[in-house]
Amino acid sequence: MKRRSIAIILLTCIFISCEKPDEQYDEGFGGSFPSFLPTYYGNPAWHPDGNWIAADHGDSLDTNGDGKMDDHFQGIWLIHSKTGTKQTLLKGFSYPSWSPDGKFLAMHGRGQIFTIKIAQLMPALIDSTTLRQTTFDGANFFPSWSPDGQWIAYDSNKNSPSGMYFLWKMKSDGSGKTRISYEPTIGEIRQPNWSANNNYIVHYRYGYAIGGHPEIFIMNADGDSAQQLTFLNSWTVSPRFSPSNGGKIIFQHSPPGKYPSILITNSDGTGQQVLIKAPALQPAWSPNGRRIVFLRHHLHDRISGNGHLGIYDIIQSGMVQLTFD
């Protein structure tokens, strides 16, 4: 089986506002990102084996061995969680989500959801014949594979007259698409993530009905019984259930005028506290729930550690920088 890169052009429209101190652009969910785009990492997802992390990244490559960097590979990379060794995987895609057996990736590209089989991790090999586009209508982002492997949740503006995004789920082969949330009077409902028992989906909701800032909610996997967990009245996104019993949720919180940090809460919204101090965003659990990979990124200062992945050990309360280039 040959190693191949799927070259699909991902067109990203960047909208920069004049708001300070955090300039804004829309990366598909209205998030807060820098106005410049360095070759930084983002949206990490831990492989079930605990060794490898898939993440968005851009870097230049010497593709013909002449010592010159002649290709810029912007897409999904694999990074070893202990050594920081990185490998290119998929060009033109972003926001990876592993199947629970670690054999497939779901990701988005060109506003649609795709899946592909990962034939081998080291060296990284993909089976390009298995690339499957699973959505075709509207714009679709942020896939999340259910722990039982049967479903992929995602957000979409399909059949949304206002263009707002709401949560859908589909079978892993793209069949059985069902919208599980639609509350346009409240606002957008985005970034789903499953509980370990497949029964709940944590997400954020964004609209003036809840204060004009994203807040974290939890609901049943069928969309019923939504409950608001945070009341922070600021930018609160990227929620992730703990991988074992689903008793904890981590998320990114950006107080007005300050850098984002990562908070942890019980699944009922109690016990909220800062886990990783700013600047820290886009957290993801390790499979054993002991470590958290996250993006360390100042929005305006190009200092050491900017735009790189860090790993936080919950047991030892220690943090190391994983990537340096």
Which whole number is the average pLDDT over 213-236?
95
Residue corresponding to tokens 């909220």: 272
The yes-or-no verdict on residue 69 having pLDDT over 90 is no
Of 109-113, 173-177, 254-258, least confident by mean pLDDT is 254-258
With 70 as the cut, is the pLDDT of residue 39 above it?
no
The average pLDDT across 211-224 equals 94
Note the pLDDT tens digit of each residue in 134-163. 999 999 999 999 999 999 999 999 999 999
- pLDDT score, position 299: 54
Q: 10 pLDDT exceeds 60? A: no
- What is the gyration radius of the CA atoms in the chain, in angstroms? 18
pLDDT at 99: 98
Confidence band for 229, pLDDT divided at 50, 70 and 90: very high
**Cβ atoms of 292 and 285 closer than 8 Å:** yes
Quick one: pLDDT band at residue 4, thresholds 50, 70, 90? very low
Judge whether residue 203 has pLDDT over 60. yes
Task: Report domain extents, the chain.
Answer: 42-321
Alpha carbon distance 282, 235 (integer Å):
13
**The CATH number of the domain covering residues in 42-321:** 2.120.10.30
Give the range with max mean pLDDT: 36-45, 109-118, 182-191.
109-118
pLDDT of the residue at 306? 57
Residue 174: Cβ-neighbour burial (10 angstroms; 0-12, 13-18, 19+): middle
